[in-house]
């Protein structure tokens, strides 16, 4: 039993950092240095600061249990209570065993053995001494031991350690009538009761203090990590907006000269075509095409940078209207390739979004489904599912498919899997979709096989 806890020793475990500092600090006094050396047994073998703390506290409690039990051992000897003496001797050995196990690095086993042995000891002694000694009340106090020697987040062991004495005290009510012959005099029972009350009060105070300390540490931890997260978020936002601003300015400033090149190439072809030979005309044609492509790229980069800026207030948007508009706008293209856009299940009205952004996602994905498609009858099937916080949309095509190895890179800017000559495009469409989807706190991904085509999925968070 941790019988001999006194005020000085309690103050030693009060403050964990102070406790450890004191443990590690000056070893001038041989008694202190021996005590410190005993507390540190096994602690230096583990790296984690918290683990070291719990090993030291276990050593501290086991040592006190040993000393306290030893005192009781002498009383048992003096009163010649041999059965009591044997149970005390067993606990003495077990307490030393706990420290020994820590020395061997078996820090988890040692803590479990400690909890089991002190509880079995209380149970056995409560039966031997009898109810008047109130030994069974130690169960109430030992409920706090797991909170002292474990991190409160190790829920399983902490709960086990708390429930064990609770169960044993219940069991004691059934078992105690079987031990009628206690053989203790009333004065002896009274003395044990008095000593017990003092020790229990000290232990309870220690437990309450430790709990308060835990909650303080947890709060401080939380506050610190919140502050850190806020700083990081602010930094991320700033560098993101810096980058976007940079891309916007560059693109914007590039636009005018590129337009000029394109228009002058046009003029050259229109006005002086007759003066140029075939090869010169071919070169001017390439330059014109290049300038046009650059213009498109700049427009797409600008569109990417503008997502989320200068938006009107979000409104409810009926997605059937969005897809019908796209279908109408693509009617000639669809007729040309014998294509179809099907809505498998009537689409929902989504609140708090922007029609222009939602249009962009559907338009890009549908357009890709038709573009990267060699079927005689390209077909797009749109479907959706509903969950508590999200809508999940799917856009399936019967096209050429995408290898799964591109599952993340495909959404990067300028990532294209095909040549400009095979399929035209800038490689920004999916990056735009991803940025919009993330703006609505959703995710985008695809599932694809060459035979069955591709299904793009995206989620939109409900607000
Ligand atoms: P773009 O269409 O301008 O090339 P995207 O960002 O929209 O750019 O798409 C990037 C690349 O992803 C495309 O070049 C293509 O290789 C591949 N891809 C996108 N959608 C599909 C699809 N439905 N089927 C097959 N490949 C696709």
User: In three state form, how does the secondary structure of the chain look?
Assistant: CCCCCCHHHHHHHHCHHHHHHHHHCCCCCHHHHHHHHHHCCCHHHCCCHHHHHHHHHHHHHHHHHHHHHHHHHHHHHHHCCHHHHHHHHHHHHHHHHHHHHHHCCCHHHHHHHHHHHHHHHHHHHHHHHCHHHCHHHHHHHHCCHHHHHCCCCCHHHHHHHHHHHHHHHHHHHHHHHHCCCCCCCHHHHHHHHHHHHHHHHHHHHHHHHHHHHHHHHHHHHHHHHHHHHHHHHHHHHHHHHHHHHHHHHHHHHHHHHHHHHHHHHHHHHHHHHHHCCHHHHHHHHHHHHHHHHHHHHHHHHHHHHHCCCCCCCCEEEEHHHHHHHHHHHCHHHHHHHCCEEEECCCCCEEEEECHHHHHHHHHHHHHHHHHCCCCCCCEEEEEEEECCCEEEEEEEECCCCCCHHHCCHHHCCCCCCCCCCCCCCCCCHHHHHHHHHHHCCCCEEEEEECCCEEEEEEEEECC
220 with 320, same domain? no
In a domain, 285, yes or no: no
Q: Which of 142-151, 225-234, 285-294, 386-395 has the lowest mean pLDDT?
A: 142-151
Check residue 344 and give its pLDDT. 92
CA 93 from chain center: how many Å?
Answer: 43
Q: Which domain holds residue 48?
A: 7-232
Closest CA to 216 of 358, 10, 48, 14: 14
Cβ < 6 A, ligand 1 pocket: 364, 368-369, 372, 397, 399-400, 402, 410, 415-418, 425-431, 454
* Domain boundary residue, one of 232, 257, 276: 232
Q: Averaged over 265-292, what is the pLDDT?
A: 91
Q: How far is the CA of 418 from the centre of ligand 1 (A)?
A: 8
Check residue 120 and give its pLDDT. 92
To test the pocket of ligand 1, the residue of 307, 368, 394 to mutate (highest count of ligand atoms within 8 Å of its CB) is 368
Check residue 50 and give its pLDDT. 75
176 with 316, same domain? no
In a domain, 254, yes or no: no
- pLDDT at position 17 over 60: no
* Domain boundary residue, one of 215, 232, 249: 232
Q: What is the pLDDT of residues 26-36, one digit of tens each?
A: 445 777 788 78
Check residue 19 and give its pLDDT. 43
Q: How far is the CA of 436 from the centre of ligand 1 (A)?
A: 17
Q: What is the count of structural domains for the chain?
A: 2
CA torsion angle 189 193 196 202 (round to 10): -160
* Domain boundary residue, one of 199, 215, 232: 232
The token pair at 140 is 């109430």
Q: Give the span between the Cα atoms of 80 and 12, in whole angstroms.
A: 35
Closest CA to 429 of 355, 352, 369: 369
In a domain, 359, yes or no: yes
Res. 214 pLDDT band, cuts 50 70 90: low
319 with 195, same domain? no
Q: Is the dihedral of CA 298, 302, 304, 305 positive or negative?
A: positive
The token pair at 75 is 């009383």
Res. 138 pLDDT band, cuts 50 70 90: confident
Q: Which single residue is written with the structure tokens 């031991």?
A: 145
Q: How far is the CA of 424 from the centre of ligand 1 (A)?
A: 10
Q: How far is the CA of 416 from the centre of ligand 1 (A)?
A: 6
227 with 332, same domain? no
- pLDDT at position 324 over 80: yes
In a domain, 358, yes or no: yes
To test the pocket of ligand 1, the residue of 296, 416, 434, 449 to mutate (highest count of ligand atoms within 8 Å of its CB) is 416
- pLDDT at position 316 over 60: yes
- Cβ distance 286 to 236 under 8 Å? no
Q: How far is the CA of 330 from the centre of ligand 1 (A)?
A: 18
Q: Which of 52-56, 115-119, 321-325, 342-346 has the lowest mean pLDDT?
A: 52-56
In a domain, 270, yes or no: no
Q: Exposed, middle or buried by CB within 10 Å (0-12, 13-18, 19+), for 114?
A: buried
pTM as predicted: 0.55
The DSSP bridge partners found for residue 383 are: 394
Check residue 13 and give its pLDDT. 40
Radius of gyration of the chain (CA): 38
Q: What is the pLDDT of residues 362-376, one digit of tens each?
A: 999 999 999 999 999
When the pLDDT of each residue in the chain is averaged and rounded to a whole number, the result is 85
Res. 210 pLDDT band, cuts 50 70 90: low
Check residue 23 and give its pLDDT. 43
Q: What is the pLDDT of residues 60-85, one digit of tens each?
A: 889 888 888 888 888 889 988 888 89
Closest CA to 4 of 55, 78, 74, 53: 74
Q: Averaged over 265-291, what is the pLDDT?
A: 91
Q: What is the pLDDT of residues 306-315, one digit of tens each?
A: 888 778 899 9
| Strand-strand pairing, 444-449 and 379-386 | unpaired
Residue nearest to atom 16 of ligand 1 (CA): 417
In a domain, 124, yes or no: yes
Check residue 56 and give its pLDDT. 86
Res. 9 pLDDT band, cuts 50 70 90: very low
Position with higher pLDDT, 342 vs 180: 342
Closest CA to 439 of 240, 254, 187: 240
Q: Give the span between the Cα atoms of 9 and 68, in whole angstroms.
A: 12
In a domain, 238, yes or no: no
- Provide the CATH number for the domain around residue 385: 3.30.565.10
Q: Which residues contact 190 (CB under 8 A, 6 or more apart)?
A: 132
- pLDDT at position 177 over 90: no
315 with 213, same domain? no
Q: How far is the CA of 308 from the centre of ligand 1 (A)?
A: 23
Res. 355 pLDDT band, cuts 50 70 90: very high
In a domain, 315, yes or no: yes
């Amino acid at each position: 039993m941790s019988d001999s806890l006194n005020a000085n020793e309690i103050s030693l475990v009060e403050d964990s950092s102070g406790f450890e500092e004191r443990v590690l600090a000056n070893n001038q006094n041989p008694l202190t240095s021996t005590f410190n050396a005993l507390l540190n047994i096994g602690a230096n073998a583990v790296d984690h600061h918290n683990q070291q703390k719990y090993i030291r506290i276990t050593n501290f409690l086991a040592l006190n249990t040993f000393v306290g039990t030893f005192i009781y051992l002498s009383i048992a000897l003096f009163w010649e209570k041999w059965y009591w003496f044997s149970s005390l001797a067993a606990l003495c050995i077990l307490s030393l065993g706990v420290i020994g196990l820590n020395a061997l690095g078996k820090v988890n086993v040692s803590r479990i053995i400690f909890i089991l042995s002190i509880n079995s000891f209380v149970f056995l002694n409560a039966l031997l001494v009898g109810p008047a000694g109130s030994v069974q009340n130690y169960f109430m106090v030992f409920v706090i031991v797991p909170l002292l020697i474990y991190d409160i987040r190790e829920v399983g062991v902490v709960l086990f350690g708390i429930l064990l004495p609770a169960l044993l005290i219940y069991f004691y009510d059934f078992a105690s009538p079987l031990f009628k012959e206690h053989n203790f005099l009333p004065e002896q029972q009274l003395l044990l009761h008095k000593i017990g009350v003092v020790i229990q009060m000290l232990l309870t105070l220690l437990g309450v203090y430790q709990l308060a300390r835990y909650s303080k540490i947890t709060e401080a931890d939380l506050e610190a990590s919140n502050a850190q997260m806020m700083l990081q978020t602010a930094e991320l936002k700033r560098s993101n907006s810096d980058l976007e601003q940079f891309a916007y300015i560059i693109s914007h400033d590039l636009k005018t000269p590129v337009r000029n090149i394109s228009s002058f190439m046009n003029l050259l072809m229109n006005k002086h075509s007759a003066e140029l030979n075939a090869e010169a005309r071919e070169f001017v044609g390439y330059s014109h095409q290049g300038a046009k492509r650059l213009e498109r790229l700049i427009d797409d980069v600008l569109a990417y940078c503008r997502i989320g800026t200068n938006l009107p207030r979000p409104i409810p948007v009926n997605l059937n209207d969005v897809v019908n508009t796209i279908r109408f706008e693509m009617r000639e293209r669809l007729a040309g390739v014998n294509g179809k856009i099907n809505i498998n299940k009537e689409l929902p009205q989504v609140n708090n979004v922007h029609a222009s952004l939602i249009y962009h996602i559907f338009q890009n994905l549908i357009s890709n489904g038709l573009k990267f498609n060699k079927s005689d009858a390209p077909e797009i099937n749109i479907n959706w599912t509903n969950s508590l916080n999200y809508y999940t949309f799917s856009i399936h095509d019967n096209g050429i498919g995408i290898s799964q190895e591109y599952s993340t890179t495909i959404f990067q800017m300028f990532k294209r899997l095909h040549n400009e000559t095979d399929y035209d495009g800038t490689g920004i469409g999916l990056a735009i979709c991803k940025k919009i989807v993330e703006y609505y706190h959703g995710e985008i991904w695809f599932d694809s096989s060459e035979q069955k085509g591709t299904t793009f999925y995206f989620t939109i968070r409900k607000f």
